């Protein structure tokens, strides 16, 4: 296992951090956790050198923290740092924040949390957290030793990331990042902004929830043609760890073979390890994925609101995602939300208001019909 220094905090961490969100098939919607299996996976990772464990109050129907707490008995707690999170939806004042933290400490069977994150905030939630006094609460808990570092995790657009990062003296940030998301969410700009301030960056969704682990034919052909053979997973993690700003790469593993492979990979990675040819390979791989883009919708939402209730950018995003990563539409979260909220393309009456507003001049009406047909095909 390779270890890294966490920016201005100056502490050492394993480059591989175990995510505790995906045990026992949770990725495919099975929320019943197999406790014994999860505990043995967690301990296997720690025995292999992992020192960073990531969980959250809400993961696995609120059972993830409990299972992690059990796994860290028998001396394991002293070997690791724990990151867990406060969801904005669960708190509304100081007393509710105190109650939530107390519950989390009890579930984790510990007297302190190392990295305490405001969970998945955007600008609106950050303003909400400020309005209920969360920054003062985090500062007080830090002074009291109940948390060591005040942090946030983030999935919003770059401008909001920049605002939030510059608005408080954060100790660490957790962002979604991988070789496909260089211009998405916080992206490379966000990574470098945090790195420039010495704020350690923890990466989530490094394999896009597993989608980058299964290379489609055109991507596999590029990997196969490269002189050094590595799995798709290894290329993805190697690319991430090549960035000096990255402190920890989280990965949520469901199987012991995945832990074993990731332990092996994270024994070989280091900042600046990739030469020009390897970096070009990853650029080509990204282009190969993007060549499967179905429609050039940028999600600007100029077409919205649709007078008939179609979530136009949502349908196009699901269409592109399913095509890019060769996944089953039934497992696409965005597509399932559109169907559940009845915002599908079957509501389109071809009025054309969207096409008149689209700055990309897309054939939206035709695109919606094709997207809906392909997403709903058996
Ligand atoms: N704060 C937030 O808002 C937030 C959001 C998302 C995630 N997170 C945290 O970040 C962690 C990491 O994100 P993630 O779980 O999405 O990470 P990820 O590495 O992108 O995806 C994990 C999935 O990748 C696959 N995988 C991992 N190692 C593999 C290997 N060696 N070979 C083949 N497949 C492999 C598995 O998919 P299969 O199960 O399909 O095999 C696994 O479930 C989460 O567990 C969670 O703790 C936080």
211 Cα nearest atom in ligand 1:
24
218 — pLDDT class (breaks 50, 70, 90)? very high
Q: Which residues contact 202 (CB under 8 A, 6 or more apart)?
A: 17, 52, 54, 83, 115, 172, 173, 174, 175, 247, 248, 249, 250
174 Cα nearest atom in ligand 1:
1
pLDDT at 2 over 80: yes
Q: Tell me, what's the pLDDT at 321?
A: 87
Q: Tell me, what's the pLDDT at 326?
A: 85
**CA-to-CA distance for 280 and 269, rounded, in angstroms?**
18
pLDDT digits (tens, 9 = 90+) for 37-67: 999 999 999 999 999 999 999 998 899 999 9
Average pLDDT over residues 160-184: 96
At 355, list the tokens: 């096409």
Residues of the chain within CATH 3.20.20.100 domain(s) are 3-284
> How many angstroms does the Cα of residue 335 sit away from the middle of ligand 1?
20
What CATH number was assigned to the domain covering residues 3-284?
Answer: 3.20.20.100
pLDDT at 295 over 80: yes
More confident residue, 214 or 194: 194
> How many angstroms does the Cα of residue 96 sit away from the middle of ligand 1?
30
Calculate the CA dihedral of residues 268, 272, 277, 281 and round it to 10 degrees.
70
pLDDT at 233 over 90: yes
Pair 343, 310: CB distance under 8 Å: yes
> How many angstroms does the Cα of residue 210 sit away from the middle of ligand 1?
6
pLDDT digits (tens, 9 = 90+) for 354-364: 999 987 888 99
From atom 27 of ligand 1, which residue's Cα is the shortest distance away? 253
pLDDT digits (tens, 9 = 90+) for 110-156: 999 999 999 999 999 999 999 999 999 999 999 999 999 999 999 98
Q: Which residues line ligand 1 (CB under 6 A)?
A: 19-22, 27, 54, 119-120, 153, 155, 174, 204-210, 213, 233, 250-254, 258, 261-262
More confident residue, 210 or 29: 210
> How many angstroms does the Cα of residue 214 sit away from the middle of ligand 1?
13
Least confident of 188-202, 259-273, 357-371: 357-371
Let me know if 359 is exposed, middle or buried by CB neighbors in 10 A (0-12, 13-18, 19+): exposed
For all residues of the chain together, what is the average pLDDT? 94
């Amino acid at each position: 296992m390779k270890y890294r220094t966490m920016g201005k905090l100056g502490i050492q961490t394993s480059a591989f951090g175990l995510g505790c969100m995906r045990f026992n098939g949770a990725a495919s919607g099975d929320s019943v956790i197999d406790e014994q299996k999860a505990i043995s996976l967690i301990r296997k990772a720690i025995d292999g050198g992992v020192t960073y464990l990531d969980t959250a109050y809400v993961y696995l129907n609120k059972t993830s923290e409990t299972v992690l707490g059990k796994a860290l008995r028998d001396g394991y707690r002293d070997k690791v740092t724990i990151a867990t999170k406060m969801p904005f939806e669960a708190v509304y004042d100081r007393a509710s924040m105190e109650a939530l933290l107390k519950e989390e400490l009890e579930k984790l069977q510990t007297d302190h949390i190392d990295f305490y994150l405001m969970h998945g905030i955007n600008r609106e939630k950050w303003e909400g957290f400020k309005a209920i006094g969360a920054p003062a609460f985090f500062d007080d808990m830090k002074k009291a030793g109940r948390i060591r570092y005040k942090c946030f995790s983030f999935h919003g657009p770059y401008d909001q990331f920049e605002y939030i990062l510059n608005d408080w003296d954060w100790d660490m940030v957790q962002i979604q990042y991988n070789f496909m998301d260089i211009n998405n969410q916080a992206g490379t700009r966000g990574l470098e902004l945090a790195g420039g301030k010495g704020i350690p960056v923890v990466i989530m969704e490094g394999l896009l929830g597993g989608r980058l682990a299964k290379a489609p034919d055109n991507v596999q052909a590029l990997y196969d043609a490269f002189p050094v053979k590595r799995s798709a997973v290894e290329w993805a993690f190697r690319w991430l760890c090549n960035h000096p700003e990255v402190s920890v790469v989280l990965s949520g593993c469901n199987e012991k073979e995945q832990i074993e492979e990731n332990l092996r990979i994270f024994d070989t990675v280091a900042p600046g390890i990739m030469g020009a040819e390897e970096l070009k390979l990853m650029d080509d791989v990204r282009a190969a994925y993007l060549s499967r883009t179905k429609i050039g919708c940028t999600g600007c939402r100029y077409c919205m609101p649709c007078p008939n209730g179609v979530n136009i950018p949502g349908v196009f995003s699901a269409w592109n995602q399913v095509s890019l990563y060769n996944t089953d539409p039934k497992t696409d979260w965005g597509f399932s939300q559109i169907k559940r909220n009845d915002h599908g393309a079957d509501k389109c009456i071809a009025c054309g208001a969207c096409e008149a507003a689209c700055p990309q001049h897309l054939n939206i009406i035709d695109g919606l019909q094709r997207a809906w047909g392909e997403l709903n095909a058996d």
